[in-house]
Amino acid sequence: MKLNLKKQFSTLALVTSFAATASMSLAGECRVAEASMDKPGGFPDRALTMIVPYGPGGGSGQVAAAMAEAVTGLTGVSINRDHKPGGSGTVGMTAYMAAPADGYNVLEHIDDASSAHALDSSRPNPAEDLIPLVVSQVTFSQIYIRSNETRYTDWPSFVAWVQAQDGKATIANVSKEGSMERVIMKFITEASDMQIQQISFDKGAPRYGALLGGQVDALFEQPGDVRKFLDAGNFKPILTVFNERPGVFSDVPTHREMGMDFEPLLRFRGFYVHKDAPSDRVDWLKWAFQRAYCEDSYQAFNDSKFMNVIDSYRDTAGAIDMINAAIVQYRDVYKEMGLDVK
């Protein structure tokens, strides 16, 4: 079934995405003026708990650690990270929703929470059932090949080669159907009129190893996760799924330049608190997490992960806009894909 790509994006999605593009120059800038804030009624007088729905070694685990360190450095309040991996984030989300809404429990989550709600509205809506404190990482996806690859060297030659393989070409991707990665690949293959077998890897190391070892022909990933392979000269990007060429990838064409007319879905990671948490505590947490984004340690972390290539920061209002846009966008796509949208 062909998707009608031009129809499926709402105005809201377009506005949000173009805002991300337009604000590339703001990447890494601090937008919270207040360097300190009084604790409301002494809150917090003990350590916070941060539920992380993924393991400690992955992208979420690392951003949770970096943000916790920055908040602690800024406020002196310790944060205990409680990793509850599994079920594409549902185990952690369920545990968080069951935790007391007293402001002492915060949640780290990624765009998977938005796509899960888009598919099944009984799942928590991160923009309505939770209050986003800050989105501190926003990034785009790319397609990579081995640097020493000779069968194809850029996107046009890759597409031509894949088309000649009659569906036998392979690309390593994540495993979950309906995930951001899978949806974008569907856009790309349909827009490029090519068939490519996606190989499901739920962990990063085997996924990257598969490309390094020649087990697959290409890799779909975000640049921060494969930076070491880029720096070492093992991988090279041949396509950026973003509306403009980011500065550090100025020699890599975007999907739009390659004739693909769809709005890019973005990977974003942020921090949340229960919507029923006391409002004065929520205000303090918003300040702490948004200001912690400005801390040198956090900025250094984001730099190391290519997370300041585009604007990675959204305050509460910006995060709500982004999440709502993503939900609308995913829901339209899922309906077009024939998935059972509830």
Partner 1 sequence: MIENFLVGTATLFGDPFTIGIFIFGVLGGMLFGAIPGVSMLTLAAILLPFTADLSPAQGVMLFAVIYCTGTYGGAITAILFNIPGAPENAPTAFDGYPMTQKGMAGKAVGAAVLCSAIGGVASALVMMSATEPLAQWAIMNIGPPEIFALVFFGLAVASSVGGRTIWKGWLSVLLGLLIATIGQDPVGGINRFNFGYSDLAAGIAFVPAILGFFAVSEIFIQAEKNVSGKYSAPKFNVDFPSFFELWAHKIAVVRSIFVGFFCGILPGIGATLAAFMGYGEAVRWSKNKSEFGTGKLEGVISSETANNAATGAAMIPLLALGLPGGALTAMMVAVFQMHDLEPGPLVFYNSPELIWIVFAAMFYANLSILFVGLIETKTILYLLKIPFQFLAPMILMLASIGAYISRGLVLDVIVMFIAGIIGFLLRRSGYSIPGIVLGLILGKIGEQNFAQGMQMVHYDLGTYFSRPICTILIVAGVLTLLKSLHSAFFQKPKVI
Identify residue 63 by its one-letter amino acid code: V
Cβ 307 to partner 1 shortest distance, Å: 13
Contact between 277 and 129 under an 8 Å Cβ cutoff? The reply is no
**What does residue 137 show for φ and ψ, rounded to 5 degrees?**
-140, 125
Cβ 56 to partner 1 shortest distance, Å: 6
Please, which residue, 112 or 311, has the CB nearer to partner 1? 112
Residues 6+ positions from 34 with CB-CB distance below 8 Å? 287, 291
Please, which residue, 88 or 316, has the CB nearer to partner 1? 88
Please, which residue, 123 or 331, has the CB nearer to partner 1? 123
Please, which residue, 91 or 191, has the CB nearer to partner 1? 91
Please, which residue, 57 or 156, has the CB nearer to partner 1? 57
What does the binding site for partner 1 look like in residue numbers (CB under 8 A)?
55-58, 61-62, 65, 69, 81-88, 90-91, 93-95, 167-168, 170, 175-179, 197-203, 205-206, 208-210, 212-216, 227-229, 231-232, 234, 304
Q: Which residues pair with 141 in a beta bridge?
A: 241
Cβ 66 to partner 1 shortest distance, Å: 9
Cβ 33 to partner 1 shortest distance, Å: 28
Please, which residue, 58 or 278, has the CB nearer to partner 1? 58
Please, which residue, 210 or 322, has the CB nearer to partner 1? 210
Identify residue 205 by its one-letter amino acid code: A
HSE value, Cβ hemisphere, 13 Å, CA-based, for 264:
25
Cα gap 193→195, rounded to integer Å: 7
Residues 6+ positions from 186 with CB-CB distance below 8 Å? 3, 337
Cβ 237 to partner 1 shortest distance, Å: 17
Please, which residue, 88 or 240, has the CB nearer to partner 1? 88
Cβ 243 to partner 1 shortest distance, Å: 28
Cα gap 217→211, rounded to integer Å: 7
Asked, as a colleague might, if the bond just before 124 is cis with ω within 30 of 0, I would say: no
Cβ 205 to partner 1 shortest distance, Å: 4
Please, which residue, 167 or 247, has the CB nearer to partner 1? 167
Instruction: Report the relative pairing of strands 218-221 and 170-173 from DSSP bridges.
Output: parallel
Cβ 114 to partner 1 shortest distance, Å: 16
Residues 6+ positions from 251 with CB-CB distance below 8 Å? none
Residue 246's CB is within 10 A of a number of other CB atoms, namely 20
HEC sequence for 136-196: EEEECEEEEEECCCCCCCCHHHHHHHHHHCCCCCEEEECCCCCCHHHHHHHHHHHHHCCCC
Angle at 169 between CA 166 and CA 175, to 5 degrees: 125
Cβ 251 to partner 1 shortest distance, Å: 21
Cα gap 297→69, rounded to integer Å: 8
